Amino acid sequence: MVQCLYDYFVRNYYEGATFMLTKSELQQKIAELKMDYINLQGDIEKLESTGHEESVRKAEERLSNMEKQLAELNKQLAALS
């Protein structure tokens, strides 16, 4: 889900397509992304406790991507307010 959302925004942003989500759509996407972020943090804690270093690294990269997505969505939401 998160990767699909990320791909959608990257594809539209970098290909110059214009799209505009409504305020409620942005709020919903932000809420979903935050929930995914929280779940991934929990997964990272489990992976760290079991010594899966490579999986932890990949998961942390996904967290970083999520943070960028959240920043962009919040920026769009602020522009609507």
Is residue 7 classed exposed, middle or buried when 0-12, 13-18 and 19+ CB atoms within 10 A define those classes? exposed
- 75 — pLDDT class (breaks 50, 70, 90): very high
pLDDT, one tens digit per residue, over 12-67 is 555 444 567 899 999 999 999 999 999 999 999 999 999 999 999 999 999 999 99
pLDDT score of 34? 97
Total tally of structural domains belonging to the chain = 1
pLDDT score of 69? 96
pLDDT score of 79? 92
**Sign of the torsion formed by the C-alpha atoms of 41, 42, 48 and 54:** negative
Is the model's pTM score more than 0.85? Answer: no
Give 21 or 69, the one with higher predicted confidence.
69
Q: Could you tell me the residue range of the domain that residue 56 belongs to?
A: 2-80
What the block records as the tokens of 81 is 């307010």
